[in-house]
Amino acid sequence: MRMVFITGVVFALAVGASACGKDDKDSAARDAEIQKKLQEGMQREKQMYEGMQKGVENLEKQSPPQKQEKTQ
């Protein structure tokens, strides 16, 4: 998630720098598009994280219980 945020910030800065001196309508449209892409990226990141959690849960269910050894 951190990587997506950093990538989005760098992309936003690059677009913002290239938009200097241009029409406000263009920059507003770009800002909206950037916001949409960031939200999509964060949603994908969340879904991937939830998928990994489900995978771990499935592995824990499938693995046999571990026996604890007695120490003396």
The length of the chain in residues reads: 72
Q: Does pLDDT of 4 surpass 80? A: no
CB 19 within 8 A of CB 26: yes
Handedness of CA 18, 23, 27, 33 (dihedral sign): negative
Residue 36 tokens, joined: 């949409």
Q: Does pLDDT of 7 surpass 70? A: yes
Q: How far is residue 64's CA from residue 55's CA, in Å, rounded to a whole number?
A: 16
Q: How far is residue 58's CA from residue 50's CA, in Å, rounded to a whole number?
A: 12
User: How do the domains of the chain map onto residue ranges?
Assistant: 2-53
Q: How far is residue 53's CA from residue 47's CA, in Å, rounded to a whole number?
A: 10
* Whole-structure pTM value: 0.49
Task: Choose the weakest-confidence range: 19-23, 41-45, 67-71.
Answer: 19-23
